[in-house]
Amino acid sequence: TPGVVDSGNASSQQLLLDELFAPGHDKGSCLSRYEAILYRKPSSHKPSPYLLSKLRNYESLHNLCGPYTEAYNKTLEQLKYGRKVSTTDCNYVVYTPLSGLGNRMLTIASAFLYALLTNRVLLVEFGSEIAGLFCEPFQQTTWLLPRDFPLRNQFDNFSQEYPHTYGNMLKSRVINTAVKSPPPPPFLYIYLAYNIDRYDGLFYCDQNQDQLGKVPWLVIKSNQYFVPSLFLVPSFKQELSKLFPDEETVFHHLGRYLFQPSNEAWGLITRFYRAYLSKADETIGIQVRVFDPKATPFQTVMHQILSCTLKEKLLPEVLDVKNSAASSSNNQSMKAVLVTSLYSEYYEHLKGMYWTKPTVSGEVIGVYQPSHEEHEIYGNNMHSMKAWTEIYLLSMSNVLITSSWSTFGYVAQSLGGLKPWMLYRPFNGTTPDPPCVQAMSMEPCFHFPPSYGCKADVYIGPGAIVPHVKHCEDVEWGLKLV
Ligand code: GDP
């Protein structure tokens, strides 16, 4: 129960800290880091000792190279003069924002893993909409890209067509990976979003990684969870298997490490949880993401949800009698259903159903939905705050049902360490049969992996399948770790 553990003194505070975190964090500035354990049981997936030591080393590097350190200031000079003027041990990867919150979190975690693999420091540009959602993950420094970062005014031009992307520079032969080629510039733009072409995709090749290793600043634009393709880069393989002996825990660990709810978000999460969910014996999260409301009408999706919950026995059936004596049931158990959606109709229907009719099992079902925003909104901080709250609440469920294709759902499942039941995407108004499938692993899906080989000339299709990288349940050409 929340508040039972005395989190007051230093040693009991230490007990509350997930082993992923270094000791010594200031509790007041990030309550969730210490209080999460009061709300959900510790993860059953242990991080490898090697991952923990890698994180501690990363933290030291971030301290050495973080914004406004001597080393940071020195590497900035290289940007000013356009060439290497001094050597430091500091190299960077800069994340720039694209798409909704789920996409952003998946890409930031991917960029962080890339930083771990290549000894770079990750700096993030959030944009106003996701400012203030998360705690600062690193002590005595920051992962936020400084406002006066010199390349910032070019970010708006950074699209796939931008001539200075790595892909375009390779294509136009401004740079190449030949041994005798001139040294690469001090910064490069790496475009890795959903529509990468054969040249952008060369990023995932060893030869190109050798070249990129000489570039102090890499600025990434992506909305993808590109981790599975890092597992297919030969030179990263060994390190990755040491870091993640259990391949399906990559986002589970890195996500929990990087994304702690800020105090404001934690207030929203814990108030909702305590008011509606904490008393239930079990919580079932249902995430309803409707990408095309016209092609997938309410009745179809609602029918699909109910087919899934009944077929897989996730929720009880209701009796078709209104006046059966509820008091005769001695089943005292209570289930809570947490619905998240941009719309309220799924929640209304479920709530009405379990209110007006008794369940076969006699258990009672409470149905709750924190918000219904109606539309995706960009640039609105409170909109993103609600989205983050709902992702986190979903991750606290015991059982999870998610919508295909949604990164919002992926983040929830991975943070929660859950293999969700995924609702197949309905086609032209009919409920798919079967309506849902349980995911092979809790990992997110990489929707658009590179489809050309390392010479950019051979189309290889959706990519090589190796024992721990498979096609996704919901996106046939996508890749996921299992
Ligand atoms: P995806 O588009 O489903 O992959 O997920 P994203 O999180 O990347 O983008 C969808 C955005 O729409 C979210 O970031 C939210 O802003 C909004 N959104 C979608 N579904 C929900 C929901 O269930 N609750 C809330 N509060 N917002 C949602």
What local confidence, expressed as pLDDT, does residue 266 receive?
98
**Residue 342 near ligand 1, beta carbon < 6 Å:** yes
Domain assignment of residue 155, yes or no: yes
**Do 344 and 401 lie in a common domain?**
yes
258, 281, 315 - which closes a domain: 258
Q: Tell me the C-alpha distance between 268 and 371, whole Å.
A: 11
188, 223, 258 - which closes a domain: 258
Domain assignment of residue 380, yes or no: yes
**Do 396 and 325 lie in a common domain?**
yes
**DSSP per position, 118-141:** HT-EEEE---GGGTTSB--SSTTS
Domain range enclosing 24: 10-38
Q: What is the block-wise mean pLDDT of the chain (482 residues), using blocks of 10 residues?
A: 48 74 93 94 93 98 97 88 69 96 98 98 91 96 96 91 94 86 87 96 95 95 97 96 98 98 98 98 97 90 97 96 61 95 98 96 97 91 96 98 98 98 89 96 97 81 78 95 96
Domain total in the chain = 3
**Do 444 and 322 lie in a common domain?**
yes
**Do 251 and 389 lie in a common domain?**
no
The dihedral of CA 64, 68, 72, 74: what is its sign?
Answer: negative
What local confidence, expressed as pLDDT, does residue 7 receive?
47
Q: Could you tell me which of 356, 349, 361, 335 has the C-alpha nearest to residue 304?
A: 349
Q: Tell me the C-alpha distance between 156 and 202, whole Å.
A: 23
Note whether 460 and 451 are within 8 A (CB): yes
Domain assignment of residue 134, yes or no: yes
**Do 250 and 272 lie in a common domain?**
no
**Do 26 and 57 lie in a common domain?**
no
**Do 296 and 418 lie in a common domain?**
yes
**Do 117 and 149 lie in a common domain?**
yes
**Do 248 and 334 lie in a common domain?**
no
> How much distance in Å is there from the Cα of 452 to the middle of ligand 1?
31
**Residue 383 near ligand 1, beta carbon < 6 Å:** yes
208, 236, 258 - which closes a domain: 258
**Do 219 and 356 lie in a common domain?**
no
Domain assignment of residue 28, yes or no: yes
Domain assignment of residue 3, yes or no: no
Which domain CATH number covers 403? 3.40.50.11350
Domain assignment of residue 2, yes or no: no
Ligand 1 mutation pick, 129, 290, 374, 408, max ligand atoms within 8 A of CB: 408
**Residue 410 CA: which ligand 1 atom is closest?**
4
> How much distance in Å is there from the Cα of 22 to the middle of ligand 1?
31
> How much distance in Å is there from the Cα of 14 to the middle of ligand 1?
34
**Do 68 and 33 lie in a common domain?**
no
Domain assignment of residue 187, yes or no: yes
Q: Tell me the C-alpha distance between 32 and 267, whole Å.
A: 9
**Residue 102 CA: which ligand 1 atom is closest?**
7
Domain assignment of residue 44, yes or no: no
> How much distance in Å is there from the Cα of 373 to the middle of ligand 1?
9
H runs (alpha helix) in 357-480: 381-395, 407-416
Ligand 1 mutation pick, 223, 372, 376, 405, max ligand atoms within 8 A of CB: 376
> How much distance in Å is there from the Cα of 97 to the middle of ligand 1?
15
**Do 229 and 326 lie in a common domain?**
no
